[in-house]
A and B are shown apart, each in its own frame.
Chain A
Amino acid sequence: MIDVFAQALADGVASGALYGLIALGLSLQFGVMKIINFAHGSLLMVAMYISLWASRYLGAHSLVAVPLVAVVMFVLGFAIQRWLLEDIYRKEATREPMGILIFTTGLWIFLDNLFLVIAGPDYQVIKGDWIGRTTSVGGLMFGYPQVAGFVFSTLTTVALVVFLRHTRLGRNIRAAGQDREAASVLGIDSARVYQVSFAIGLAVLGIAGALLAPMYPVNPFVGDIFGLRAFVIVVLGGIGSIGGAFWGGILVGVIESVGAQLLPATFSEILIFGIFLAVLYFRPTGLFGLEKE
């Protein structure tokens, strides 16, 4: 019995790190631009398809596809911010960016249905020898994709934190997020910062999608559940906090995985969203009280 729980806990931590990574881009975009990108889940779905196609048509190993998907998503993110969101954002600079919220909701539905046409409604899986393999650590069993997901999610999170803290661009992104006008009178081009931030958010999401694709069958609506979960994680971790997204992800992963041992599977959603509502009500700044980036 103990073993079952230990396994569930470890599984929860492993998938939680990946959930955190999915939420990270959303948190970064919100923290810097104060926008809520409702197309986040759909963009994860796009990343998963890119990964699938890279493996199917280019014969790329799904781990080799990770940087490839990240680059494609970075370019896509830059383009979305530069040519779609920027003008809407600028017109709303002096009020709450409600237009962005509505626009990205439209983008979500658009992308889901676009991929329904392109890729069809069926679930598709990535094939590869390594995907079914397992390894055991201290008596616990892990699938290779699960290990890769945990390791690369953690590394990506750490890399992003280091980037934001210790590089000039990272510092400028944080400055613009904390006070846009103060940043601009110090010579920071906020439009450029937003383009780069949105692009980095999607690049990170691309990494997450490519890590998730070997574990989870892809269909045009696969992003919806993960996107929703990302919102929960961002709120749990504290909006705009990178470390918070990571720990929020772990928390959700553990609740889901350990909860499934104790309760019927449907209860885990009730539990997760119950906690989500409670945090919003009692502690809207997030559970961890971590410093916002």
Chain B
Amino acid sequence: MTPMLELRELYSGYGDVRVLRGVSLEVREGEVVSVVGANGAGKSTLIRTVMGTVPATSGEVRFLGQDITGRPSHEIARRGIAQVMEGRRLFPHMSVEENLLVGGDILRDKARSRAGLDLTYTMFPRLAERRRQLARSFSGGEQQMLAIGRALMTSPRLLLLDEPSIGLAPVVVKSIFTALRQISEQGITILLVEQDVHRSLALASRAYVIKEGSVVREGPSAELLADPELRRAYLGI
């Protein structure tokens, strides 16, 4: 079966700085796959290269069997990939509901967008209570829920998450991961980039360990967690 997302020997970076050095990985439909590694290993760049916001210098990104390398981000989004960006990146001068509606606008269908809004409010009741408030008045955890909700509003096949737990209190991180599990159970495929190795490997079925822009290990999460050398050398746990 063709994987949903496939990266082949992907290179990318910023200007003269090369960050990804030949990354190959795949995500199959329905999976939760995690990418772990130290700060600066290239995790965020990986997500951004898939999404087209950082241009690939060589290699290939394939989604649902089609080459999407070098396509503009908005087109990649319309094909069914949504990204929860690092730092949330909410629209600060818009209300909660408007932020969500921007996500739903991609569907070009008011009724479906409304239905998505109801679903999002069911998943995150906190957002429903505060739908008229400006997003920037929120706590970090609430903002992250809104960022995830906004990405889901695009009705994606594949959800990319870039450090969803960063800067959040442990209790909030727990509820974010609970939400991610629910999202996965709804059949949405997830590629997760995360510093919290324990939680992300607990959620993911498989994982890739990257170091200096290359994949150094891959395998089922349980296997990676059980490997003492790996834990010490790459995962820092």
Complex contact A186–B94 (CB within 8 A) = no
Q: Do A171 and B101 have beta carbons less than 8 Å apart?
A: yes
Residue contact A184 to B91, C-beta cutoff 8 Å: no
Q: Is A11 among interface residues, defined by CB-CB distance under 8 A? A: no
| Interface residue B105 (Cβ < 8 Å from any Cβ of A) | yes
Instruction: Please tell me if the beta carbons of B73 and A184 are within 8 angstroms of each other in the complex.
Output: yes
Are A186 and B106 in contact (CB-based, < 8 A)? yes
Q: Does B4 contact A (CB under 8 A)?
A: no
Q: Are B94 and A175 in contact (CB under 8 A)?
A: yes
Tell me whether A171 and B105 are in contact in the complex, defined as CB-CB below 8 angstroms, given that A178-B91, A293-B93 are known contacts: yes
CA distance A162 to B178 in the complex (A): 39
Which of B59-67, B77-85, B202-210 faces chain A? B77-85
A291, closest chain B residue (CB): B93
Residues from chain B with a CB closer than 8 A to the CB of A182 are 85, 89-91
* Complex Cα gap A172–B103 (Å): 10
Q: How far is the CA of A67 from the CA of B228 in the complex (A)?
A: 74
A174-B91 contact, Cβ under 8 Å, with A186-B154, A188-B105: yes
B53 touching A185, Cβ below 8 Å: yes
Q: Is B198 an interface residue (CB 8 A)?
A: no
Q: How far is the CA of A293 from the CA of B105 in the complex (A)?
A: 18
**Residue contact B93 to A292, C-beta cutoff 8 Å:** yes
Docked pose: A21 CA to B226 CA in angstroms: 67
User: A83-105 vs B: 1/0 string, CB under 8 Å?
Assistant: 00000000000000000000000
Inter-chain contacts of A178 with B (CB < 8 A): 91-94
- 26 of the cross-chain contacts (CB-CB < 8 Å) are A168-B105, A171-B98, A171-B101, A171-B102, A172-B105, A174-B91, A174-B94, A175-B91, A179-B91, A181-B53, A182-B85, A182-B89, A182-B90, A183-B102, A184-B73, A184-B74, A185-B76, A185-B83, A186-B82, A186-B154, A187-B74, A187-B77, A189-B72, A189-B74, A291-B93, A293-B93
**A254-293, CB under 8 A of B: which get 1 and which 0?**
0000000000000000000000000000000000000111
* B51 interfacial by beta-carbon distance below 8 Å: yes
B73 partner residues in chain A, CB cutoff 8 A: 181, 184-185
Contacts of B72 in A (CB 8 A): 184, 189
Question: Inside 8 A of A186's CB, which chain B residues have their CB?
Answer: 74, 77, 82, 102-103, 105-106, 150-151, 154
Q: Which residues of B contact A291 (CB under 8 A)?
A: 93
With an 8 Å Cβ cutoff, the count of chain B residues facing the other chain is: 27
Given contacts A174-B93, A186-B77, A188-B105, 18 further A-B contacts (CB under 8 A): A171-B105, A172-B102, A175-B91, A175-B94, A178-B92, A178-B94, A179-B91, A181-B53, A181-B85, A182-B90, A183-B91, A185-B83, A186-B82, A187-B74, A187-B77, A187-B105, A189-B72, A291-B93
Q: What 1/0 mask marks residues of chain A from 153 to 188 whose CB sits below 8 Å from any chain B CB?
A: 000000000000000100110110011011111111
Interface contact A188-B74, CB-CB below 8 Å: yes
* Bound CA span A185–B162, Å: 13
Q: In this complex, what residue of A is CB-closest to B102?
A: A175
Q: Please indicate which of the listed interface residues A171, A172, A186, A292 has the most CB atoms of chain B within 10 Å of its own CB.
A: A186
Q: Which residues of A contact B (CB under 8 A)?
A: 168, 171-172, 174-175, 178-179, 181-190, 291-293
Which residues in A have their C-beta under 8 angstroms from that of B75? 189
Q: Across the two chains, which residue of chain B brings its CB closest to A192? A: B74
CB closest residue in chain B, given A178: B91
- Assembly CA distance A50 to B113 (angstroms): 42
Q: Which A residues are in CB contact (< 8 Å) with B98?
A: 171
Flag B179-209 by CB within 8 Å of A: 1 or 0 each: 0000000000000000000000000000000
> Whole-angstrom distance from the CB of A28 to the nearest CB of chain B?
14
Residues of A within 8 Å of B85, CB to CB, are 181-182, 185
B117 → chain A closest CB, angstroms: 13
Which residue among A183, A184, A188, A293 has the maximum number of chain B CB atoms within 10 Å of its CB?
A: A184
Give the residue name and chain of the A residue nearest to B147 (CB). Answer: A182
Question: For the complex, what is the distance from the CA of A183 to the CA of B98, rounded to whole Å?
Answer: 13
Q: Closest B-chain residue to A168, C-beta based? A: B105
Closest-CB distance, A181 to chain B (whole angstroms): 6
Closest Cβ of chain B to A193, distance in Å, is 10
- Cα A293 to Cα B154 in complex, Å, equals 23
Please provide the 5 A-B residue pairs with the shortest distance between their CB atoms, ordered closest to farther.
A187-B106, A187-B77, A182-B89, A184-B73, A178-B91
> Contacting A181 at CB < 8 Å: which of B78, B82, B89, B93?
B89
Q: In the bound complex, what is the Cα–Cα distance between A82 and B106 (angstroms)? A: 23
CB-defined contacts of A293 to chain B, threshold 8 Å = 93
Chain B nearest CB: distance from A164 CB in Å? 11
> Which of chain B's residues have a CB closer than 8 A to the CB of A185?
51, 53, 73-74, 76-77, 82-83, 85
